[in-house]
Amino acid sequence: MKSITLTQYLIEQQREKGAVSAELRLLIEVVARACKRISHAVSKGALGGVLGGAGTDNIQGEAQKKLDVIANEVLVEANEWGGHLAALASEEMEHPHQIPSRYPRGEFLLLMDPLDGSSNIDVNVSIGTIFSVLRCPDGVVDPDEKAFLQPGTNQVAAGFAVYGPCTILVLTVGAGVAAFTLDRELGSFVMTQSEIKLSPDTQEFAINASNMRNWEAPVRRYIDECLAGKTGVRGKDFNMRWVASMVADVFRILSRGGIFMYPCDAKHKAGRLRLMYEANPMAFIIEQAGGAATDGRRRIMEIQPEQLHQRVGVVLGSKAEVDRVTQYHLEAPARA
Ligand code: AFP
């Protein structure tokens, strides 16, 4: 099979499908290059002195790991000077990062979760980077938080890297989903899956079952039915997986189907995952692959964000399963 690099793929998307502009292509390539650097740092582990805590807290009040800080710095540094961005926002930074005045500004806004799956860093389990690209609203010169508060349907690109046994970049520019594996000798991302399509049904679910006592009735109902297996209403056995790195769980679902849930519950009343940095980009990718993504009731990409660091319940993956969970929520009495 002829190998296609990320650069070739993007140029083809630009020329043949008009799905990306030259500016957007360059922006995605810069993000991909930053992911290569992060992948390199991750692969060094203890030898590179990158494991352990940074001794600081992020805006969410969560203890930052050294790699959270390193990945954030790598992405900011790589993106701020290229001239493609009007501003960028990160899960690790309280306010949007303005492009220093010495650099030109572009038309895009970048949102990122620099290091997703922080609890897995020190135990050598897959982690990743998630990103999303929006257009800066017309006429906005110094984009503040308000400029970023756009629904996920406005995304022009989204992607994530998984730093696992190999490094994989998954990307959508709104014309399907493709995955690229990092060829370390060549230093290039080479396409290894094109036109990813999610199977509508599944026999695998992903949820942190330690939250079970806090779940709402519709989630309990769905999981109970899965657990009942062949003897229950579903009439088939289900398997369960939970990596605790959304990037790894979503990549598995893109590869062989499944459903991922981090729903609102009695402990995480507004949800646990971040709308702008995790839920929206993943929802865009999953929908582009033929799947669905809701917060249990509403399509995630149609939610109008009110805050940059807002959280949301997440149910995404194979369409028939997401529709079922959403239906169970809609049939249940509305949340108090
Ligand atoms: P971080 O964003 O702090 O790295 O957390 C990872 C994550 O947001 C997501 O990738 C996982 O699916 C989820 O949190 C895991 O949460 P639990 O540790 O509660 O299972």
Residues 181 and 60 in one domain: yes
**Of the candidates 150, 172, 193, which is a domain's last residue?**
193
pLDDT confidence bin for 335, thresholds 50/70/90: low
Same domain? 210 vs 236: yes
Ligand 1 centroid distance, CA of 268 (Å): 13
Both 260 and 170 in one domain: the answer is: no
* Rounded distance from Cα 270 to ligand 1 centre (Å): 15
The pLDDT score that the predictor gives to residue 283 is 98
Residue 184 placed within a domain = yes
Residue 66: inside a domain, yes or no? yes
* Residue of 251, 273, 314 with the most ligand 1 atoms within 8 Å of its CB, for mutation: 273
| CA–CA separation, 194 and 176 (whole Å) | 8
Residue 178 has pLDDT above 70, yes or no: yes
Same-domain check for residues 66 and 180:
yes
Other Cβ atoms less than 10 A from the Cβ of 329: the count is 24
Residue 198 lies inside a defined structural domain of this protein: no
Q: Is residue 1 part of a domain?
A: no
Looking at ligand 1, which atom is closest to the CA of residue 115? 4
For residues 41 and 160, state if they share a domain: yes
Name the residue of 38, 262, 311 whose CB sits within 8 Å of the most ligand 1 atoms, as the mutation to test its pocket.
262
User: Is 147 in the same domain as 31?
Assistant: yes
**pLDDT confidence bin for 200, thresholds 50/70/90:** confident
- The answer to whether position 199 is within a domain reads no
**Structural domain harbouring 98:** 6-193
String of DSSP letters for 230-299: GGSTT-S--EE---S-HHHHHHHHHHH--EEEE---SSSTT-SEEIIIIIHHHHHHHHHTT-EEESSSSB
How large is the average pLDDT for residues 100-119? Answer: 95
Confidence of residue 144 (pLDDT cuts 50, 70, 90): very high
Question: In terms of DSSP bridges, do strands 314-317 and 259-262 run parallel, antiparallel, or are they unpaired?
Answer: antiparallel
pLDDT value of position 8: 95
Residue 59: its pLDDT value, please? 76
Within-domain flag for 146: yes
- Say whether both 184 and 43 belong to one domain: yes
Residues 260 and 283 in one domain: yes
Is the per-residue pLDDT at 272 higher than 80? Answer: yes
Count of CB atoms situated within 10 Å of the CB of 287: 22
50: domain CATH number?
A: 3.30.540.10
Task: Kindly report the protein residue whose alpha carbon is nearest to atom 20 of ligand 1.
Answer: 244
- Residues of the chain above pLDDT 90, percent: 89
3-state secondary structure of 192: strand
- What's this model's pTM, rounded to 2 decimal places? 0.96
176 and 224 belong to one structural domain: no
**Closest residue to atom 6 of ligand 1, CA basis:** 117
The answer to whether the CB of 116 is under 6 A from ligand 1 is yes
- What are 221-234's pLDDT values in tens digits? 999 999 999 999 99
The one-letter code for the residue type at 186 is L
> Is residue 207 in contact with ligand 1, taking CB distance under 6 Å?
no
Q: Which residue puts its alpha carbon closest to atom 13 of ligand 1?
A: 244
User: Taking residues 25-43, what's their average pLDDT?
Assistant: 97
Cα 75 to ligand 1 centroid, rounded to whole Å: 20
Q: Is 128 in the pocket of ligand 1 (CB under 6 A)?
A: no
Could you say which of 193, 220, 235 is where a domain stops?
Answer: 193
User: What value does the mean pLDDT take over residues 169-181?
Assistant: 97
pLDDT for res 54: 85
Q: Which of 62, 93, 207, 278 to mutate to test the pocket of ligand 1 (most atoms within 8 A of CB)?
A: 278
Residues 208, 182 within the same domain: no
Pocket test for ligand 1, best of 130, 272, 276, 280 (most atoms within 8 A of CB): 272
Residues 62 and 182 in one domain: yes
Task: Please tell me the distance between residue 129's alpha carbon and the centre of ligand 1 in angstroms.
Answer: 12
Q: How far is C-alpha 2 from the geometric centre of its chain's CA atoms?
A: 29
Domain count, the chain: 2
145 C-alpha vs ligand 1 centroid, how far in Å? 24
Does 199 or 129 have the greater pLDDT score?
A: 129
Compute the mean pLDDT over every residue in the chain, rounded to the nearest whole number: 95
The answer to which of 55-59, 75-79, 209-213 has the lowest mean pLDDT is 55-59
Q: Is 60 in the pocket of ligand 1 (CB under 6 A)?
A: no
